[in-house]
Amino acid sequence: MCVRHRRSSARRLVLLTPLAVTGCAGGLSAVDPAGPAAARIAALWWTMLAGSAAVFALVMLLLLIAYRRTPAPHQSERRQERFWLYGLGLAFPLVTLAALLIYGLVLGETLLPKASENVVTVRAEARQWSWSFGYADAAGRRTQGVLHIPAGRPVDVEITSLDVVHSFWAPRLAGKLDAIPGQVNVLRIEAAEPGEYHGVDAEFSGPGYSGDAFTVIAHDPAGWAAFLGRATE
């Protein structure tokens, strides 16, 4: 009965795994990237998951060995235990975590805005509970709840708030960054392909917070030129 139960549990795990993976896709999924910055963040997430899973599996294995060891092991067995406890139980987690830390720091540096001639600048202003966007390439142009950007080009979003602390987050395009009153924070985003992408306020800011969302529309070159030439919305 025990073997049969284990086989049925394994079979259910195999069947449910594809369903769990499909849950990683969607408009607000940080592991379903649609741009280079989001792709780096997703790669970091999967790398951290793999590293933590390896450390967890090793620790569980060491616990199992500790429970099954003999009360008075021989000298050779003591050396083997020291190898497992100090070599793998201590050295392996430390090396793995240090490698993950260095990888995260190096990758994080690549996400910072850097000078480029091809960068588009937009401004995002948050308030309870909506977003307003302005465009450096179209003086006086403002849109409410919809951010227009060109696809395939880096975009610097200058983020600020008119009242309380908010947080700008379009998960498939980049990480999130706080909107702070009296301060401008710059987030580099980019959409690889034209399309619509969902964004939310990732900071609780009061009872109306649940509806504080926005849309990012990435245009092809012709669509972006047409947007800049349209009358103020």
The burial class, CB within 10 Å (0-12 / 13-18 / 19+), for 172 is: buried
* Separation of alpha carbons 123 and 187, rounded Å: 10
Please report which helix (H) or strand (E) contains residue 17, including its range: helix 2-22
Question: What pLDDT score does 95 carry?
Answer: 84
Asked if 227 and 156 touch (Cβ cutoff 8 Å), the reply is no
Question: Measuring CA to CA, which residue among 103, 107, 106 is closest to residue 37?
Answer: 107
pTM of the model: 0.72
Q: What is the DSSP letter of 181?
A: B
Average pLDDT over residues 39-62: 86
3-class state of residue 125 by DSSP: strand
List the domain boundaries for the chain: 2-110, 120-229
For 20-35, the pLDDT digits (tens) are 444 455 677 878 898 8
3-class state of residue 159 by DSSP: strand
Region label for 26, one of left (φ > 0), alpha (ψ between -120 and 50) or beta (otherwise) = left
* Separation of alpha carbons 36 and 34, rounded Å: 7
| Max Cα distance, the chain (Å) | 85
Pairing of strands 155-161, 138-144: unpaired
Name the CATH architecture for the domain at 120-229: Sandwich (2.60)
Q: What sign results for the dihedral spanned by CA atoms 170, 174, 177, 182?
A: negative
Phi, psi torsion values for 150, nearest 5 degrees? -85, 140
Average pLDDT over residues 11-18: 41
For 117-136, the pLDDT digits (tens) are 789 999 999 998 889 999 98
pLDDT at 216 over 70: yes
Question: What pLDDT score does 202 carry?
Answer: 83
For 141-197, the pLDDT digits (tens) are 899 999 999 999 999 999 999 989 999 999 999 989 999 999 999 999 999 999 999
Phi, psi torsion values for 37, nearest 5 degrees? -65, -45
